[in-house]
């Protein structure tokens, strides 16, 4: 994308969580503890090559997790937010830009990570749409957001919000920020797409010639959205 992102039209922001808002992938931390990174990558390969559906790979990996909720929460202590994510939320609050977190992760984990690391005024500015989970003793059962092969088709929320504005005189610019394979459906819906440098979403954009900005931290996102015309 060569043109400036700045416009007088209002912005509506959607963002992935793991590997985008957070530096580490919280799901991978727990799944790797259960099955190891190599086995997880095998599941990723099976899903990417279409041998199994993404939702089935997620379900099988989460079913392998053998942790109590307390053990899992303790393991999430290492998860850090992008160093400029708070600045980004403040940027959006100041401009009345809504921010929806679209995640293939599990809602109680996301809530824990965000509420532990963000002041309440920043946390409450974020809407979360994700999968759910039930943890009974050490058994993890994922509850998918929808019936799609992704388990959570991130394009659905964006299309739903777009419909709300379809008859509006001032149609917003829809922004999506992501890093991974689960972000591809949402990426197709974005007017302005940010793909994390060196990750799968950026590679997919390059392969499919999808216009995008590359970012390393949310400072880059702020800078682009704030760029003068």
Active site residue 18: yes
Residue (16 or 202) nearer to Mg ion, CB: 16
Q: Which of 154, 175, 180, 221 binds Mg ion (CB under 5 A)?
A: 180
Per the annotation, the verdict on 16 as an active-site residue is yes
Our finding on whether 18 is near Mg ion (CB under 5 A) is yes
- Could you tell me which stretch among 59-67, 94-102, 169-177, 180-188 binds Mg ion (CB under 5 A)? 180-188
* Residue 27 or 172 with smaller CB distance to Mg ion: 27
| 202 touches Mg ion by CB under 5 A | no
CA dihedral 215, 100, 159, 51 (to 10 degrees): 70
Q: Which position among 11, 16, 43, 153 is part of the footprint of Mg ion (CB under 5 A)?
A: 16
Task: Give the single-character DSSP code of 210.
Answer: -
Q: Which of 179, 189, 200, 202 binds Mg ion (CB under 5 A)?
A: 179
Q: Binding Mg ion by CB under 5 A: which of 11, 19, 27, 57?
A: 19
């Amino acid at each position: 994308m060569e043109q400036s992102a700045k416009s007088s039209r209002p912005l509506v922001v959607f963002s992935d969580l793991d590997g985008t808002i957070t530096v580490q992938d919280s799901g991978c931390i727990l799944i790797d503890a259960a099955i190891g990174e190599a086995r997880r990558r095998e599941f990723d390969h099976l899903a990417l090559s279409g041998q199994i559906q993404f939702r089935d790979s997620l379900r099988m990996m989460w079913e392998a997790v053998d942790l109590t909720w307390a053990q899992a929460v303790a393991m999430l202590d290492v998860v850090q937010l992008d160093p400029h994510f708070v600045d980004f939320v403040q940027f959006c609050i100041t401009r009345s830009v809504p921010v929806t977190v679209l995640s293939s992760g599990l809602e109680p984990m996301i809530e824990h990570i965000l509420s532990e690391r963000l002041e309440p005024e920043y946390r409450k500015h974020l809407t979360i749409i994700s999968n759910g989970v039930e943890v009974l003793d050490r058994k993890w059962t994922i509850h998918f957001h929808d019936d799609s092969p992704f388990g959570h088709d991130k394009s659905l929320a964006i299309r739903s919000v777009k419909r709300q504005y379809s008859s509006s005189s001032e149609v917003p610019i829809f922004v999506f920020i992501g890093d991974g394979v689960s972000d591809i459906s949402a990426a197709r819906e974005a007017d302005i797409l940010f793909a994390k440098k060196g990750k799968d979403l950026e590679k997919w954009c390059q392969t499919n010639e999808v216009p995008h900005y590359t970012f390393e931290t949310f400072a880059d996102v702020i800078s682009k959205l704030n760029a003068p015309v």
